[in-house]
């Protein structure tokens, strides 16, 4: 039997991507999500889901639903109200207020002497600036009130996978960090530093600069994760021309500049040009896909273009390809409709990012001092 020394609760669990990233050293004591498609996907991929997974609104959970005292509570709360693509309503927004449904449970566990030693809150980068920084300060105040020290890291999944996906990970600890886990980090971005600098003194005193190191250089690009050409459903020439017609001259020039075989990612954005809102298709050939979204998110489903010998072909990104861009193995069971699969993948957390965070920071934080000294 595999020894799993660490336990965790996973809130807003989606398809269980944080669980996959935490890995074999972690045992899930409780998981929750209210979305029926994500819940069905979680159950399809984890044989023990019946033992610990609860489908439903986080506001309807009670402290007694959470067994024991977990080492970690992970919360990837709904991000629409923090996203640059959303209304930026902040923590007062309907979806993101789900965070407080989660946090009231943490407060109750603390009152019962069962507070998790670590809390990780994952969200879009807009969390740092939402409502002029007021939302981030409110989060910091909530953590401090329960006795946590905390710090934030901005990690782009593009360091691990061929997808540009910056996210903020707020890591909070009940214990003072041991030597070796604090200091400079490439994930202390300008946005993180600005958010930390804007905190009032009483919250700044509880700030920790987590010293998460950079991972090894990524050694794969977008083309390596795509299905073979013969297995993909390509657009008709008319559909491809329609897509290209949405490109501004600079992006058409990118296509014309490609030599040999080149694979690019295309995503649609609404731009304001001459005072008018115009839909544009934008292409990139840097080996990365753009940030995956849910089908109903702020941008439409991404497309792939292949330029070869002067010919341009295009198609939509497939569900399995989207899963690979999140670090999910091909054996991961996706919902049968493509929209459902893209919903699960586009609203998740990149698996290798979680694994790096767990290995380099979370597990050392939970390890006994003797284990750290032995390393």
Please check whether residue 144 is in contact with residue 206, taking contact to mean a CB–CB distance below 8 angstroms: yes
Please write the tens of the pLDDT for every residue from 188-206.
999 999 999 999 999 999 9
User: Of 26, 111, 123, 24, which is closest to residue 76 (Cα–Cα)?
Assistant: 123
The pLDDT value recorded for residue 274 is: 83
3-state secondary structure of 151: strand
The pLDDT value recorded for residue 293 is: 86
Domains in the chain, please, with CATH? 6-216+346-374 (3.40.50.150), 228-317 (no CATH)
Please check whether residue 284 is in contact with residue 76, taking contact to mean a CB–CB distance below 8 angstroms: no
Confidence band, pLDDT 50/70/90 cuts, at residue 375: very low
The pLDDT value recorded for residue 92 is: 56
What is the spatial order of strands in the sheet that 311-316 belongs to? 276-284, 261-273, 303-308, 311-316
3-state secondary structure of 243: helix
Please write the tens of the pLDDT for every residue from 264-317.
999 988 888 888 888 899 999 999 999 998 765 444 689 999 999 889 999 999
Structure tokens at 141: 């105040």
Average pLDDT value over all residues in the chain: 90
DSSP tag of 289:
B
Rounded-to-integer distance, Cα 80 and Cα 39, Å:
19
In percent, how much of the chain has pLDDT > 70? 91
The pLDDT value recorded for residue 296 is: 59
Reported pTM: 0.91
- Strands (DSSP E) along the chain, which ranges? 6-11, 26-33, 53-55, 72-75, 118-123, 149-156, 166-173, 261-273, 276-284, 303-308, 311-316
pLDDT of 253 higher than 50: yes
Q: State the DSSP H helix or E strand holding residue 300, giving kind and residue range, or none if neither.
A: none
pLDDT of 167 higher than 60: yes
Rounded-to-integer distance, Cα 156 and Cα 273, Å:
29
Please write the tens of the pLDDT for every residue from 107-124.
999 999 999 999 999 999
Please check whether residue 336 is in contact with residue 174, taking contact to mean a CB–CB distance below 8 angstroms: no
Range of lowest pLDDT (24-38, 127-141, 221-235, 326-340): 127-141
pLDDT of 154 higher than 50: yes
3-state secondary structure of 307: strand
pLDDT of 214 higher than 50: yes
User: Of 23, 94, 86, which is closest to residue 57 (Cα–Cα)?
Assistant: 94
Please write the tens of the pLDDT for every residue from 332-371.
999 998 899 999 999 999 999 999 999 999 999 998 644 4
């Amino acid at each position: 039997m595999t020894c799993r020394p660490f336990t965790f609760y996973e809130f807003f669990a989606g398809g269980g991507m944080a669980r996959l990233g935490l890995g074999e050293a972690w045992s899930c004591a409780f998981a929750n999500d209210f979305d029926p498609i994500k819940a069905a996907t979680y159950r399809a991929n984890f044989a023990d889901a019946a033992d610990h997974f609860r489908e439903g609104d986080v506001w309807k959970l009670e402290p007694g639903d959470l067994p024991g005292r977990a080492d970690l509570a992970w919360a990837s709360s709904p991000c629409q109200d923090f996203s640059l693509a959303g209304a930026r309503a902040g923590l007062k927004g309907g979806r993101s207020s789900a965070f407080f449904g989660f946090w009231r449970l943490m407060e109750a566990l603390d009152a019962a002497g069962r507070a998790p030693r670590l809390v990780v809150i994952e969200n879009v980068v807009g969390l740092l600036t939402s409502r002029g920084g007021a939302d981030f300060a409110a989060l910091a105040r909530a953590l401090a009130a329960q006795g946590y020290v905390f710090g934030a890291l901005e990690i782009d999944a593009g360091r691990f996978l061929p997808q540009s996906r910056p996210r903020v990970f707020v890591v909070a600890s009940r214990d003072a960090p041991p030597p070796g886990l604090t200091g400079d980090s490439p994930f202390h971005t300008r946005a993180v530093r600005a958010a930390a600098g804007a905190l009032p003194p009483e919250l700044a005193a509880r700030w920790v600069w987590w010293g998460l190191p950079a991972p090894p250089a990524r050694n794969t690009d977008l083309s390596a994760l795509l299905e073979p050409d013969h297995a993909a459903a390509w657009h008709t020439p008319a559909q491809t021309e329609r897509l290209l017609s949405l490109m501004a001259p600079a992006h058409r020039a990118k296509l014309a500049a490609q030599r040999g075989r080149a694979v690019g990612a295309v995503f649609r954005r609404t731009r304001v040009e001459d005072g008018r809102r115009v839909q544009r298709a934008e292409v990139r050939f840097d080996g990365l896909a753009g940030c995956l979204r849910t089908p109903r998110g702020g941008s439409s489903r991404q497309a792939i273009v292949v330029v070869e010998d002067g010919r341009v072909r295009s198609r939509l990104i497939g569900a399995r390809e989207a899963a690979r861009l999140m670090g999910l193995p091909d054996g991961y069971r996706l919902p049968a409709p493509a929209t459902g699969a893209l919903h699960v993948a586009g609203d998740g957390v990149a698996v290798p990012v979680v694994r790096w965070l767990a290995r380099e920071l979370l597990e050392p934080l939970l390890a006994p001092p003797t284990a750290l000294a032995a390393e």
